[in-house]
C-alpha cells in the first residue's frame, strides 16, 4: 500500500499522551518511520490527526429497518466521520441479538458492506421479552462481550437479578439504558415548561434516576460489571459518582447531543428534536458536561439513530425518536474544545481510548484503529446533501458548524 506523508499536523494520541505538531507517515492506517516511498503529501497545517473513534451506542437499522438505513450506508457514514468501531444495541426489528450464530453473520456483513468493526450488544432476555434470560453463553461464544435489554421492560425485578447473576458468571458486562417505565409511561419529552405549554406527555428525570438507583443496588449484590448508557439527567451523575466511590464496577456514557442541545428545541413541536432519552434542561446539560470533564462519565457516544423522512411527519408524540448523529459528532466535539470544556487531547480521549477501555477492548482497538484527519476550522452547513448517513433527521439542518473529518486512513 502507498505511504501518505502529512506535514506540520497536530498529532493527538491519547495512548502515548502526545499532543505536538510534527510530520508523520501513514501506511495501511498505521504510523511508520520516514520513507522514500511517499506517493501522497498532505499539508496538515492547522489540522489535527487523531485515532479513529469508538462509538458505544449507534443504531444502524439493519436487519429489519432498511428503510431508515443499512449497514452499507451507515457504515460509510461512520467511516467518513472517523468512526471505525461501532457498538449497537440489541433492539433491531426483528430481534436477532439473542442468537450468537446470527450475530457473527451480522458482524461479518458490517465489515463487508460498511467497512466498520461492528460490536453487537447481545439481548439480556429472549427476544427482549423481559421474561426469560437469553442464552448468554451462546452470545459470548458468538462474540458478544455485553448484554442489554435496551428500552424493553422486564416482567419483574427477579428476572433482572437472574440475568445479572448469569452475566456475572460469564464475566459479561450488562448495559443499562436506565428508565423506570412505570414513571416514564408513554412520555416523549422532558418534564418542563416547554412540554407543559405544548401539552406533550412527559418523561421526568426521576424515571432515569430511580432506575439507576435500583440497578446499582442489584449490581452491588451480584458483583456484575455494568455500564450505564445515554445518561440525560444531571442528578444521574451524582449517583454514578457515589457508585464509583464505593468501588462498584460501573462505567457510564452520554450522547454528544445531550452536551449541546436542550428541551428548548422541542418548541413548536419540532419532531427533529424528539429523542429518547429526551433532551433535558440547561442545568442537566451543564451537569452532564461537568460529569464528563471530571471523569464520572467515562465516554461520549453518538447515539446515532437514522430515520426516514416519513418517521418524523406525524404529530410529535407519534413520531419515532432519534437523531442522525454521525455527521455532526466531530463538529460538536470541536465545539466543546472551542468553548473551553476540554483541551483537544482530552476530547479525543473521550471518544477513542476511553470508550475502548469501557468496552475492555483497548488492545484490539489499538491493533485495528486507523487515523482521522480533522480540520477544526472547516466551516460547513448541515444539509441533506452534506450528511453521509441515510438519516437526515437532525434538528441542526441548515446550521453552520465548525470542524470536520477531511480524511480517514484505515487498512
Q: How do residues 393-408 score in pLDDT, each as one tens digit?
A: 999 999 999 999 999 9
> What is the rounded distance in angstroms from the CA atom of residue 162 to the CA atom of residue 252?
22
Task: Quote the radius of gyration of the chain (alpha carbons, Å).
Answer: 21
Q: Count of domains in the chain?
A: 1
Residue 15 lies in a domain: no
In a domain, 12, yes or no: no
Q: What are the CA-CA distances from residue 153 to residues 58, 63, 118, 182 (Å)? A: 20, 22, 25, 10
Does any domain span residue 36?
no
Strand pairing class (18-27; 3-13): antiparallel
C-alpha span between 308 and 326 (Å, rounded):
15
Please check whether residue 17 lies inside any domain of the structure. no
Domain presence at residue 19 = no
For 53, the domain range is: 48-409
Flag whether 24 is in a domain. Answer: no
**pLDDT value of residue 2:** 79
CB proximity list for 339: less than 8 A, separation 6 or greater: none
Closest CA to 61 of 93, 87, 86, 83: 93
**Any domain includes 30:** no
- Given a contact cutoff of 8 angstroms between Cβ atoms, the answer to whether 285 and 235 are in contact is no
CA distances from 383 to 11, 155, 156, 345, 378 (A): 30, 43, 44, 29, 15
Instruction: Fill in the DSSP letter of residue 130.
Output: S
**Grid coordinates 428525570 are at which residue?**
205
Q: CA 206, 219, 293: angle at the middle one, nearest 5?
A: 60
pLDDT in the model for residue 1: 58
Q: What is the CATH number of the domain that holds 265?
A: 3.20.20.140
Q: DSSP characters for 178-235?
A: ---HHHHTT--EESSHHHHHHT--EE-THHHHHHHHHHHHHHHHH---EEE-S---HH
Cβ-contact 370, 51 below 8 angstroms:
yes
pTM of the model: 0.97
Helical pair 206-222 and 234-245, crossing angle rounded to 10 deg: 10
Nearest partner of 248 among 270, 276, 218, judged by Cα: 218
pLDDT along the chain (411 residues), means of 10: 90 96 94 83 97 98 95 98 98 90 94 97 97 97 96 97 98 98 96 96 98 98 98 98 98 98 98 98 98 98 98 97 98 98 98 98 96 98 98 98 97 84
Handedness of CA 101, 103, 109, 111 (dihedral sign): negative
Whether residue 227 lies inside any domain: the answer is yes
Burial class (CB within 10 angstroms; exposed 0-12, middle 13-18, buried 19+) of 362: middle
Q: Which H or E run contains 154?
A: none
Give the per-residue pLDDT at 37: 82
| Proportion of the chain in helix, strand, coil states, percent, rounded to 5 | 35, 25, 40
Amino acid at each position: 500500500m502507498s505511504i501518505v506523508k502529512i506535514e506540520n499536523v497536530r498529532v493527538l494520541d491519547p495512548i502515548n499522551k502526545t499532543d505536538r505538531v510534527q510530520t508523520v507517515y501513514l501506511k495501511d492506517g498505521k504510523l511508520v518511520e520516514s520513507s522514500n516511498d511517499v506517493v501522497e503529501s498532505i499539508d496538515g497545517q492547522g489540522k489535527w490527526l487523531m485515532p479513529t473513534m469508538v462509538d458505544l451506542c449507534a443504531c444502524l437499522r439493519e436487519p429489519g429497518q432498511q428503510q431508515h438505513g443499512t449497514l452499507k450506508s451507515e457504515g460509510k457514514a461512520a467511516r467518513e466521520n472517523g468512526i471505525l468501531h461501532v457498538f449497537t444495541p440489541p433492539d433491531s426489528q426483528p430481534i436477532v441479538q439473542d442468537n450468537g450464530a446470527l450475530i457473527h453473520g451480522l458482524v461479518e456483513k458490517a465489515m463487508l458492506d460498511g467497512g466498520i468493526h461492528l460490536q453487537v450488544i447481545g439481548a439480556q432476555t429472549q427476544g427482549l421479552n423481559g421474561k426469560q434470560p437469553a442464552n448468554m453463553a451462546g452470545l459470548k461464544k458468538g462474540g458478544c462481550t455485553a448484554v442489554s435489554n435496551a428500552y424493553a421492560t422486564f416482567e419483574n425485578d427477579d428476572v433482572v437479578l437472574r440475568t445479572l447473576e448469569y452475566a456475572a458468571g460469564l464475566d459479561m458486562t450488562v448495559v443499562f439504558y436506565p428508565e423506570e417505565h412505570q414513571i416514564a409511561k408513554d412520555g416523549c419529552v422532558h418534564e418542563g415548561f416547554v412540554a407543559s405549554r405544548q401539552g406533550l406527555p412527559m418523561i421526568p428525570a426521576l424515571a432515569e434516576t430511580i432506575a439507576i438507583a435500583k440497578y446499582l443496588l442489584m449490581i452491588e449484590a451480584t458483583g456484575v460489571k455494568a455500564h450505564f448508557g445515554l445518561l440525560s439527567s444531571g442528578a444521574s451523575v451524582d449517583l454514578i459518582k457515589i457508585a464509583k466511590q464505593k468501588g462498584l464496577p460501573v462505567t457510564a456514557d452520554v450522547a454528544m447531543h445531550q452536551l449541546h442541545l436542550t428541551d428548548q428545541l422541542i418548541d413548536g413541536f419540532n419532531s427533529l428534536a424528539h429523542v429518547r432519552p429526551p433532551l433535558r434542561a440547561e442545568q442537566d446539560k451543564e451537569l452532564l458536561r461537568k460529569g464528563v470533564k471530571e471523569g464520572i462519565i467515562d465516554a461520549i457516544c453518538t447515539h446515532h439513530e437514522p430515520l426516514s423522512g416519513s418517521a418524523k411527519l406525524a404529530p410529535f408524540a407519534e413520531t419515532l425518536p432519534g437523531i442522525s448523529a454521525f455527521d455532526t459528532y466531530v463538529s460538536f466535539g470541536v465545539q466543546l474544545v472551542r468553548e473551553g470544556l476540554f483541551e483537544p487531547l482530552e476530547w479525543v480521549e473521550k471518544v477513542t481510548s476511553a470508550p475502548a477501555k469501557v468496552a475492555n477492548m483497548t488492545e484490539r482497538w489499538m491493533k485495528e484503529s486507523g487515523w482521522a484527519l480533522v480540520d477544526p476550522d472547516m466551516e460547513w452547513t448541515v444539509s441533506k446533501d452534506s450528511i453521509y448517513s441515510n438519516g437526515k433527521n437532525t434538528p441542526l439542518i441548515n446550521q453552520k458548524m465548525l470542524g470536520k473529518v477531511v480524511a480517514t486512513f484505515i487498512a
